[in-house]
């Protein structure tokens, strides 16, 4: 970001001889605007799927978590400067393409969105029946209540197309296979949490991960829908240490601190991979915390196929990446609580969660254990260590029978999806900066082409206020 701004400032000075001062200034201003745009985009992107152990007492009551074995290798990293954290590279299930505050739609906007969606649904599904009777029924319902109720078939179609339209997701080839759990009658915090835990177990499926979405009560003019604060159902705590460093995941240091202030009690011996409680908020109950039962938290211990010492680091990662704070939009109806998942692409864990310098920052640690020359960057020690971390992730998931994919295979699959969409006469929006993997990008086929980046609906949306709750632990949606 700083480099972009510097380059913009230097444009005027480096204008070729014969270029007018006015033009040079205009070019410089254009560059500054571009740099500002980059900055805004980064901030917006950063700001960006059993037994219920309910937290008793007050809204923010506390409960003890069953003791988990803390990693002996407690990862400690120096926190980044005070700016919004860089978002995870999206799970295969994808991150939403848009970040904006949730809109208050007027009746005419809802009518137009409903009509567009129903035309899409009836146009693509030959079993949907005639459009006009359903359209008339929906318009009457919108005029009466300000919204409408999707049929189960419309909901399933809309959720799957939202995945198909998600321009930041590389794994959309399987959008047809998304299993849709219709939980629209569920709106209280305890039931939402219980169904989220069931989602984790069902999606895990003994290691054969199922793409799945659980759709809870929609937003209506008469009652706000529930909110899930956590970015993913399973996230690891980040504990601020006395020396200013972080034990665990620095991305969730502020969130962890806020939950502790509200009454959450970490394990007796805090570790680098302590699962945070799930926070569910409703307008009647406010935010409530629910500890995830051990039996729904499926984790993979990481080891390397050749480097036997790698297991001594006691690294691990959870198996099912359920994105939980995104809003599902279908035909003018908003579902703020709709956790969904695909399966992990190895680089999301190895190159981003464990590799990023403002996350677990394991690259220098692994490089040192490998005995690499880290005296200067030209030895490419970072690249060597990063490859081995990613090999460990893929090896460990595969050895433990948990679905995972590598970035080369998934890149080829995405181009198959792109071709299928083109043959179906549909556009396939894609954000190049998210589709290209965060490792060995030029070695993947998705690197060497351009994409249309239009936002299409239905889709998943990440609102700035929901991102703030996920990273900062507030403020509540319903003060």
Query: Is residue 172 annotated as part of the catalytic site, yes or no?
Result: yes
DSSP 8-state code for residue 71:
P
Helix (H, G, I), strand (E, B), or coil: what is residue 1? coil
CA dihedral 411, 416, 417, 418 (to 10 degrees): 90
| 74 CB neighbour count, 10 Å cutoff | 16
| 314 CB neighbour count, 10 Å cutoff | 18
CA distance 126 to 114: 19
CA dihedral 445, 449, 452, 456 (to 10 degrees): 0
CA distance 412 to 476: 42
Query: Is residue 169 annotated as part of the catalytic site, yes or no?
Result: yes
Bond before 458 cis per omega within 30 degrees:
yes
Q: For residues 348 and 169, is the Cβ–Cβ distance under 8 A?
A: no
CA distance 457 to 2: 34
Query: Is residue 102 annotated as part of the catalytic site, yes or no?
Result: no
Q: For residues 134 and 376, is the Cβ–Cβ distance under 8 A?
A: no
Could you identify the residue written with the tokens 């490998």? 370
The residue count of the chain comes to 479
Q: Which of 348, 359, 381, 388 is catalytic?
A: 348
Could you tell me the sign of the dihedral formed by the alpha carbons of 445, 449, 452, 455, in that order? positive
Q: Which of 172, 251, 359, 413 is catalytic?
A: 172
Q: Which of 169, 210, 327, 428 is catalytic?
A: 169
What does the buried/exposed string (b/e) look like for 175-198 if buried means 16 or more CB atoms within 10 Å of the residue's CB?
beebbbbbbbebbebbbbbbbbbb
Could you identify the residue written with the tokens 């083109």? 422
Helix (H, G, I), strand (E, B), or coil: what is residue 365? helix
Nearest to 83 by CA among 141, 44, 123: 44
CB-side neighbour CA atoms (13 Å) of 47: 14
Query: Is residue 39 annotated as part of the catalytic site, yes or no?
Result: no
CB burial of residue 54 (10 Å; 0-12, 13-18, 19+): middle
Question: How many angstroms from the chain centroid is the CA of residue 397?
Answer: 20
CA distance 61 to 72: 30
C-alpha pair distances (Å), 73 with each of 136, 271, 312, 360, 396 = 62, 8, 8, 12, 18
Nearest to 49 by CA among 315, 318, 261, 290: 318
The catalytic residues are 169, 172, 343, 348
């Amino acid at each position: 970001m700083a480099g972009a701004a510097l380059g913009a400032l230097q444009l005027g000075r480096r204008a070729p001889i014969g270029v007018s001062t006015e033009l040079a200034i205009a070019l410089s201003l254009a560059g500054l605007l571009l740099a500002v745009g980059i900055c805004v985009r980064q901030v917006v992107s950063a700001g960006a799927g059993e037994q219920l152990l309910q937290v008793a007492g007050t809204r923010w009551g506390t409960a003890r978590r069953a003791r988990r074995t803390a990693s002996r290798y407690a990862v400690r990293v120096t926190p980044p400067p005070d700016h919004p954290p860089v978002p995870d590279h999206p799970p295969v299930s994808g991150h939403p393409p848009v970040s904006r505050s949730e809109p208050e739609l007027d009746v005419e906007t809802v009518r137009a969105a409903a009509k567009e969606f129903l035309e899409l649904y009836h146009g693509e599904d030959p079993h949907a029946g005639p459009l006009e009777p359903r359209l008339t029924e929906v318009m009457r319902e919108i005029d009466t209540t300000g919204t409408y109720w999707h049929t189960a078939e419309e909901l399933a179609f809309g959720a799957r197309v939202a995945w198909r339209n998600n321009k930041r997701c590389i794994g959309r080839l399987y959008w047809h296979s998304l299993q849709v759990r219709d939980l629209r009658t569920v709106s209280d915090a305890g039931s939402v949490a219980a169904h989220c835990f069931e989602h984790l177990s069902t999606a895990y499926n003994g290691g054969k991960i199922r793409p799945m979405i659980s759709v809870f009560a929609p937003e209506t003019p008469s009652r706000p829908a529930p909110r899930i604060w956590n970015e993913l159902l399973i996230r690891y705590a980040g504990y601020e240490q006395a020396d200013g460093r972080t034990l665990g995941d620095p991305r969730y240091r502020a969130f962890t601190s806020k939950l502790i202030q509200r009454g959450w009690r970490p394990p007796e011996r805090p570790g680098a991979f302590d699962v945070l409680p799930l926070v569910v908020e409703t307008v009647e109950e406010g935010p409530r915390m629910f500890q995830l039962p051990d039996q729904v938290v499926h984790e993979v211990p990481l080891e390397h196929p050749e480097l036997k010492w790698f297991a001594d680091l006691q690294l691990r990662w959870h198996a099912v990446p359920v994105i939980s704070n995104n809003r599902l939009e279908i035909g003018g109806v908003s579902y703020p609580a709709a956790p969904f998942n695909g399966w992990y692409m190895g680089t999301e864990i190895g190159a981003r969660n464990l590799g990023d310098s403002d996350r677990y920052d394991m690259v220098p640690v692994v490089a040192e254990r490998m005995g690499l020359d880290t005296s200067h960057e030209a030895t490419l020690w970072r690249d060597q260590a990063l490859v081995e971390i990613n090999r460990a992730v893929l090896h460990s998931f595969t050895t433990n029978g948990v679905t995972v994919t590598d970035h080369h295979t998934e890149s080829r699959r995405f181009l198959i999806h792109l071709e299928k969409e083109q043959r179906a006469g549909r556009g396939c929006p894609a954000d190049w900066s998210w589709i290209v993997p965060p490792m060995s990008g030029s070695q993947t086929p998705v690197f060497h082409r351009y994409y249309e980046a239009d936002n299409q609906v239905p889709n998943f949306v990440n609102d700035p206020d929901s991102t703030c709750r996920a990273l900062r632990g507030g403020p509540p949606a319903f003060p």
